[in-house]
């Protein structure tokens, strides 16, 4: 099945929301929603290879999500660990490099180990990049970039006049990623929830009422088709 799109977005970032609501509707515990969500991740990584999307960034756990009940957090961390153990094969098959952004130091040791192992194993893969946003918060990211700018000024390797958009962007977790072209959010909420606030400045936003466990290649394709019909102006006048 080859369905590569003529002009797919280079970078798609997804706020994977609605696992809990999906589970509740099925009369299941929330963790079952997260398990079903992990299946969606597998499908969408696959679909990216098929549709020609080179960069996929998934919001998997926010800094604010640490405030969830400890049991849910522990279960999410275990799922993440399992995901890392099981998905290496798919990433290798599709020649995808794994990347992670966020305050990774806060993650439990087995998750950090799993991340390092898969990132190391896939470091030379070059057809695509899967970035997991884990313990990620955009404001914390921007604040830490500002701190690093201040440190560089204090060390004398940077002058205040040299602080511009590029200098700040170079100190974000996403320094070596292009900005997202398209941000998808599942489960209907019209908000960014502290995700890529700087990087998504000119991203197109696409929201579906379907929950993350229901998100599949067909719906993804629909998002990409809708994206393809939008006119991105970047503040300029419409194309003549």
Nearer to ligand IPE, 147 or 191 (CB): 191
19 contacts ligand IPE (rule: CB under 6 A): yes
Cβ contact 134:107 at 8 Å: yes
Is residue 65 among the annotated active site residues?
Answer: yes
Q: What is the residue-wise DSSP string for 131-184?
A: EEEEEE-HHHHHHHHHHHHHHHHHHTSS-GGG-SHHHHHTTSTTTTSPPPSEEE
Contacting range for ligand IPE; rule: CB under 6 A; set: 57-65, 77-85, 90-98, 218-226: 57-65
102 contacts ligand IPE (rule: CB under 6 A): no
210 contacts ligand IPE (rule: CB under 6 A): no
Is residue 17 among the annotated active site residues?
Answer: yes
30 contacts Mg ion (rule: CB under 5 A): no
Q: How far apart are CB 18 and ligand IPE at their closest, in Å?
A: 4
Q: How far apart are CB 110 and Mg ion at their closest, in Å?
A: 25
80 contacts ligand IPE (rule: CB under 6 A): no
Positions that interact with ligand IPE (CB under 6 A): 15-21, 59-62, 64-65, 76, 187, 189, 191, 193
């Amino acid at each position: 099945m080859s369905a590569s799109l003529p002009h797919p977005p280079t970078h798609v970032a997804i706020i994977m929301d609605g696992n809990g609501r999906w589970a509740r509707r099925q009369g299941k515990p929330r963790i079952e929603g997260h398990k079903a969500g992990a299946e969606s991740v597998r499908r969408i990584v696959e679909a990216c290879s098929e549709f020609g999307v080179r960069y996929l960034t998934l919001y998997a756990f926010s800094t604010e999500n640490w405030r969830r009940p400890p049991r849910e957090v522990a279960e999410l961390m275990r799922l993440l660990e399992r995901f890392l153990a099981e998905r290496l094969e798919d990433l290798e098959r599709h020649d995808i490099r794994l990347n992670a952004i966020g305050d990774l130091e806060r993650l439990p040791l087995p998750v950090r180990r799993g991340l390092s192992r898969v990132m190391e194993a896939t470091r030379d893969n070059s057809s695509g990049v899967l970035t997991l946003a884990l313990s990620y918060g955009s404001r914390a990211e921007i604040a830490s970039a500002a701190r690093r700018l201040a440190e560089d000024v204090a060390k004398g390797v940077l002058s205040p006049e040299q602080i511009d958009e590029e200098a700040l962007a170079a100190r974000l977790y996403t320094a070596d990623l292009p900005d997202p072209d398209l941000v998808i959010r599942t489960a209907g909420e019209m908000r960014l929830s502290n995700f890529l606030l700087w990087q998504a400045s000119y991203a197109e936003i696409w929201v579906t009422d379907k929950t993350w466990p229901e998100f599949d290649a067909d719906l993804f394709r629909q998002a990409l088709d809708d994206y393809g019909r939008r006119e991105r102006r970047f503040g300029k006048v419409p194309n003549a």
